[in-house]
Structure 1
Amino acid sequence: MQQSALRHHSFGKPLEVLQLESIPVAEPRAGEVRVRLEAASINPSDFGMIAGTYGHLRELPAVAGREGVGVVEALGAGVDSVSVGTRVRFPGEAGAWQASACIAADELLVVPSGVPVEQAAISFINPPTAYCLLRKMVELKPGDWVLQNAGNSAVGLSVIQMARAFGLKTISQVRREELVAPLQAMGADHVVLEGSDWAKNSQQLTGGAAIRLALNSIGGESAIDQIKALGEGGTQVTFGGMVGDKVRFPTRFLIFNDVRLVGFWWDAYARRLGVAGVRAVMAEVYAMMADARLSLPIERKYPFSEYESAIKHAGEPRLGKVLLVP
């Protein structure tokens, strides 16, 4: 049996190296299950992995994609912990942009029935990142202020909604005026435009309260503004670098304001947590998705056959996620 897969045989720009290919359907070995893809997401990190610039690179030729959701369609020998038809995380380690893949049954992450399938498809990278940034980096209490750039990103939208659920206050930096109203509608307390000198007036935004945590996924001047706005003893967590600029900082803020700079990568953090720890984090994410406290916008779904249009769309300014379906 054959199936469709989006693979690349070299590293480079997605539209230059990706190919829609027919590859054999894998049979689950003892202790494994085969998962049939329902929907996969397109993330900036996917482009980085295809380009050979992100994280731990896969052996070539590689199936692209890191995140998706599917249903168990075949069981290997000895598997009795899950049944055919169960919705689970698609094994993104094998590449999510393919019609099916196998995974060890004891590593499965089951998706609760109350979680919409499209939300499940985008639940495994950005929402747990947002959850850990808010819950694991700094001890925050209701009423504390959190600052973030790229407020319209999937992590940013997750932070806004989760912070609201946790009783935290948010300031979200964006680059386009038209993003202000949608973010406020999702629960953002303040939305500020990059380059507007907002950092000089951050105390007015918070009513004089210190900003405890800044979340940086851009770098450059945006990250510098965050450091200037942080309160004494505040922490900036860098978890991305969309602009590609180095994270620079005025030394005096490190010395005299005791500002701390740390990094975070969900993939590495998840490995340290182990299967049980990841399941615990995802249980919190799923609980919020099930009752719509967390709901991320979906821009459009594309079949694999239209992957070029999907990738172009994912690279354009937008608020929702772009999905691929077999």
Structure 2
Amino acid sequence: MTTLLKAQYSERGPVPQDVISAVPFERPTLAAGQALVAVLAAPINPSDVLMLTGQYGQLPPLPAVGGSEGVGRVVELGPETTGPAVGQTVLLPAGSGTWATHVVVPASRLIPLPNDADPKQLAMLTVNPPTASLLLSEFADLKAGDWIIQNGANSGVGSYVVQLAKLRGLKTVNLVRRESAVESVRAQGGDVVLVDGDDLAARVQAATGGAALKLGIDAVGGQATMRMAATLAESTSIVNYGALSGEPCIVTPRELIFRDVTLKGFWLARWFRVTPPAAQRALLTELAGRIAAGQLHTPIQAAYDVAQIKEAIAAAAAGERSGKILIVPTPGA
């Protein structure tokens, strides 16, 4: 077997790449119920970077191995252990420290995935696709032909919102924060793509022909939440799932009281905590099938080996990117 590496951190700090490094470890001896999985690909999500800086809402105890999701190939099963067969591509359990060449996980928590699908696309299955799917299904009774609006549309979640909305017959107004991001969202299938800012409600009305917007999906917070609220139909909801602006959501009394716009929040970690495993597996399996069929995908900017973890984190934390940063370990036994 090649040298085993894991991206580990023992402290947190303001410069995320400074606190993490690749360290070698010995091949583990498996206990009953465990599986050794060779990691094929694992993304770096914004939440992963915030865990390194200490700014995320749920922090693992230290020392910790980075990486909250990914896919791998089963290498070995522990004694008297049943699970996916050796050689099977599997979805790794959420939060299992996936920035590593290999991980040891409970075999019972592995979800088999199509062996012939692109592992880089499958690697992003656990966080962004279910977030997008649930944002579209849990906060409004949407029907084919309805319009929704989202900001942060060029993000990972945003791209899946566009694609899933199209598969469900929904139309999307997509807001970005810079002109250079417009074309990529259009290429994903966004019906209307606008740069967020002044006179947003009037520009949305003109672009949609006065359509009633039935749901707002907010990743930014601050004044962007207020601008989005003004675009919505009466008695609808904004669901916030991020704070890219670093500011609290702002909604005026006019929208809350006189137009009955409701502000709600969504955190995928809580959904995983309260949702029965069978329902989790059903959603993830459905989304995996769509990824394998080429119906869902997200742009990838670059892939790094585990040994390059510092460079990978720096790239993921940088401002302008055109796609995801992945950890793709050098193939080994």
TM-score range, shorter chain: over 0.9
Give the equivalent residue in structure 2 for 1:325.
Answer: 328
Structure 2 residue 150 is matched with structure 1 residue 160: no
Structure 2 residue 133 is matched with structure 1 residue 131: yes
Partner SS, residue 143 of structure 1: coil
Matches of 1:149 and 1:255 in 2, distance apart?
23
Q: Which amino acid aligns with 1:267?
A: A
Shift of 1:95: 1.0
Provide the TM-score with structure 1 as the length reference.
Answer: 0.95
**2:300, 2:323 within 8 Å by CA — same for their partners in 1?**
yes
Superposition pairs of residues 44-55 of structure 1, within 5 angstroms: 44-55=46-57
What is the total number of aligned residue pairs between the two structures? Answer: 326
**1:153, 1:319 within 8 Å by CA — same for their partners in 2?**
no
Matches of 1:39 and 1:287 in 2, distance apart?
18
Matches of 1:240 and 1:124 in 2, distance apart?
17
Structure 2 residue 117 is matched with structure 1 residue 118: no
Shift of 1:94: 2.7
**2:21, 2:309 within 8 Å by CA — same for their partners in 1?**
no
**Which portions of structure 1, spanning 4 or more consecutive aligned residues, are displaced by more than 6 angstroms?**
none
Task: Specify every segment of 5 or more residues in structure 2 that has no aligned partner in the other structure, as ranges.
Answer: none
Give the equivalent residue in structure 1 for 2:184.
Answer: 182
CA deviations over 1:273-305 (Å, ceiling 9, x no partner): 232111111122122212222111111111122
CA deviations over 1:106-140 (Å, ceiling 9, x no partner): 21122123531110111111011001111222210
Q: Which amino acid aligns with 1:323?
A: L
Give the equivalent residue in structure 1 for 2:250.
Answer: 248
Give the equivalent residue in structure 1 for 2:108.
Answer: 106
**1:107, 1:275 within 8 Å by CA — same for their partners in 2?**
no
Structure 2 residue 233 is matched with structure 1 residue 231: yes
**Greater mean deviation of Cα atoms: 20-29 or 207-216:** 20-29
Cα pair distance change 1:27/1:123, threshold 3 Å? same
2:283 is aligned, of 276, 281, 284, to 281
Q: Which amino acid aligns with 1:322?
A: I
Give the equivalent residue in structure 1 for 2:267.
Answer: 265
Task: Specify every segment of 5 or more residues in structure 1 that has no aligned partner in the other structure, as ranges.
Answer: none
**2:5, 2:307 within 8 Å by CA — same for their partners in 1?**
no
Matches of 1:5 and 1:103 in 2, distance apart?
14
Cα pair distance change 1:194/1:17, threshold 3 Å? same
Percent sequence identity is 37
CA deviations over 1:12-39 (Å, ceiling 9, x no partner): 1312211211223333321121211111
Q: Which amino acid aligns with 2:206?
A: Q
**1:40, 1:69 within 8 Å by CA — same for their partners in 2?**
yes
Matches of 1:4 and 1:290 in 2, distance apart?
29
Q: Which amino acid aligns with 1:22?
A: P
**Greater mean deviation of Cα atoms: 8-17 or 151-160:** 8-17
Shift of 1:59: 1.1
Provide the TM-score with structure 2 as the length reference.
Answer: 0.93
Shift of 1:205: 2.5
